[in-house]
């Protein structure tokens, strides 16, 4: 196992860092640094800057616009994006749906959807969670009934991130309710959000932000050609997709940037409060350990060429706990009596980060996955 960067990889990091310093718009960088709201236009502006550079989808095959970078270079790129304070690249299209289409999609589906995802012409969201079927994803109840060349979809999805921005949604639906194993009889389909019968309702979070939604499907007609992979084999697709989702939840570069800001912001408290200094030091050590763990995964992927396995859940667990820990200490370092815009933004960020240990499969579920799939318990 080799956890060191080569001279070529170190030079690549410097090139990426220099490009970001010259091309990341300062207004977007400032919004990220101050925890300000990022609009759809903000997200797509940064997406299209990277697309023009040819860097928006590094993991894609070169024939579809990928960079040809190896897994270490892709990790370095993601780390530098976070450390520079770039807006997030929304993963639902670029990372998740695209990975599924490249692995399971037909040539027609690839030609239809991948270029539009790459250029930012279609904004995607994910239709997985349902009321009563969040972490227990296999218990989903949204139905899709085949009638001729269409599926008729009825049901509800919940906690659908950025559905109010989305042009398309990829959904898990139940196409065969008669099977004994709940993981069977589930299919993966792509649905145009402009289709008649779809209703999007906002769910306001604790921080007052409109980020997630309920999505209702009432006799929504979906062309059968939008089925990805085989009917009833959607669970295979879902597991493949979730590995890519969880690989991206560590956010090591972003946490490094925020930890550095916290060390500066809380420097006075750190000098005078031993318990604060102790928690800050623990977070720094945990983040270093997380980075080394991530490098282990990268080294394995580089050697084997295989996608991330069940043990990638470790990154999700520890990464999100560190993200929460940083905002907890940032809130502690803030003046509780202050009412300035930054302090208010810190409070909102703290509230927003409560969800990180729940999304992409709650951390309790991730521990069960590790125990069963990795440890064999």
- The reply to whether 261 and 329 lie within a common domain is yes
- The reply to whether 229 and 258 lie within a common domain is no
Q: What is the mean pLDDT of residues 331-345?
A: 80
In-domain check, residue 266? yes
In-domain check, residue 239? no
- The reply to whether 142 and 83 lie within a common domain is no
- Of 192, 193, 183, 191, nearest in space to 234 by CA: 183
Pairwise pLDDT comparison (162 vs 354), residue with the higher score: 162
Judge whether residue 306 has pLDDT over 70: no
Pairwise pLDDT comparison (178 vs 42), residue with the higher score: 42
Choose the final residue of a domain: 234, 265, 296.
Answer: 234
Q: What's the pLDDT at 243?
A: 63
Contact 352, 205 (CB under 8 A): yes
Helix ranges (H only) for 195-273 are 234-247, 252-265, 267-272
Judge whether residue 1 has pLDDT over 60: no
The chain-wide mean pLDDT, for the chain, equals 90
Choose the final residue of a domain: 204, 234, 264.
Answer: 234
Name the pLDDT band for 247 (thresholds 50, 70, 90): low
In-domain check, residue 52? yes
- The reply to whether 255 and 217 lie within a common domain is no
In-domain check, residue 243? no
Q: What's the pLDDT at 71?
A: 80
Judge whether residue 28 has pLDDT over 60: yes
- The reply to whether 367 and 260 lie within a common domain is yes
Choose the final residue of a domain: 31, 63, 89.
Answer: 89
Residue 169 and residue 13: Cα distance in Å, rounded?
34
Whichever domain contains 180, its CATH number is: 2.40.110.10
Whichever domain contains 316, its CATH number is: 1.20.140.10
- Percent above pLDDT 90 for the chain: 62
State pLDDT tens for residues 63-113: 999 999 988 898 899 999 999 999 999 999 999 999 999 999 999 999 999
Q: What's the pLDDT at 245?
A: 58
Catalytic residues: 245
Residue 52 CB contacts under 8 Å (≥ 6 apart), including other chains:
none
Judge whether residue 213 has pLDDT over 80: yes
In-domain check, residue 73? yes
Name the pLDDT band for 298 (thresholds 50, 70, 90): confident
Q: What's the pLDDT at 182?
A: 86
Return the residue matching tokens 């050590």. Answer: 285
- The reply to whether 138 and 254 lie within a common domain is no
Q: What's the pLDDT at 316?
A: 86
In-domain check, residue 97? no
- The reply to whether 365 and 256 lie within a common domain is yes
In-domain check, residue 244? no
- The reply to whether 218 and 280 lie within a common domain is no
State pLDDT tens for residues 168-194: 999 999 999 999 888 899 999 999 999
- The reply to whether 65 and 146 lie within a common domain is no
pTM equals: 0.88
Q: In which region does residue 338 sit, left (phi positive, over 0), alpha (psi from -120 to 50) or beta (all else)?
A: beta
How many domains are contained in the chain? 3
- State whether the Cα torsion 63-69-75-81 is positive or negative: negative
Return the residue matching tokens 């979809």. Answer: 153
- The reply to whether 69 and 146 lie within a common domain is no
- The reply to whether 267 and 360 lie within a common domain is yes
Q: Structural domain of residue 146, as residue ranges?
A: 124-234
Tokens of 335: 């003046």
Distance (Å) of CA 138 to CA 23, 182, 360: 43, 6, 14
In-domain check, residue 109? no
């Amino acid at each position: 196992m080799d956890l060191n960067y080569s001279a070529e990889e170190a030079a690549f990091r410097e090139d990426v860092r220099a490009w970001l310093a010259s091309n990341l718009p300062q207004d977007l960088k400032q919004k990220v640094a101050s925890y300000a709201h990022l609009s759809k236009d903000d997200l797509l502006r940064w997406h299209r800057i990277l697309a023009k550079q040819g860097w928006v989808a590094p993991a894609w095959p070169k024939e579809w616009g990928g960079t040809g970078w190896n897994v270490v270079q892709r990790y370095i790129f993601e780390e530098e994006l976070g450390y520079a304070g770039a807006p997030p690249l929304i993963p639902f299209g670029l990372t998740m749906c695209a990975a599924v289409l490249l692995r399971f999609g037909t040539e027609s589906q690839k030609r239809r959807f991948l270029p539009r995802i790459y250029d930012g012409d279609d904004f995607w969201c994910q239709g997985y969670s349902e009321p009563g079927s969040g972490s227990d994803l296999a218990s989903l109840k949204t139905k899709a009934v085949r009638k001729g060349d269409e599926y008729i979809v009825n049901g509800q999805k919940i906690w659908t991130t950025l559905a109010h921005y989305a042009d398309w949604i990829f959904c898990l639906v139940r196409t065969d309710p008669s099977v004994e194993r709940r993981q069977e009889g589930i299919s993966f389909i792509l649905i145009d959000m402009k289709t008649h019968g779809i209703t999007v309702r906002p769910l306001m979070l604790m921080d007052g932000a409109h980020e997630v939604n309920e999505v209702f499907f009432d006799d929504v007609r979906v062309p059968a050609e939008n089925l990805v992979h085989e009917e009833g084999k959607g669970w295979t697709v879902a597991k493949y997709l979730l590995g890519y989702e969880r690989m991206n939840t560590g956010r090591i570069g972003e946490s490094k940037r925020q930890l550095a800001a916290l060390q500066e912001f809380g420097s006075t408290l750190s000098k005078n409060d031993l318990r604060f200094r102790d928690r800050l030091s623990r977070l720094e050590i945990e983040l270093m350990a997380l980075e080394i763990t991530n490098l282990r995964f990268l080294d394995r992927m580089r050697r084997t060429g295989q996608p991330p396995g069940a043990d990638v859940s470790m990154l999700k667990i520890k990464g999100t706990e560190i993200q929460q820990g940083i905002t907890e200490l940032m809130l502690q370092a803030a003046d509780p009596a202050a009412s300035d815009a930054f302090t208010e933004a810190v409070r909102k960020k703290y509230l927003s980060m409560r969800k990180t240990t729940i999304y992409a499969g709650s951390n309790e579920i991730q521990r069960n996955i590790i125990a069963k799939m990795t440890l064999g318990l």
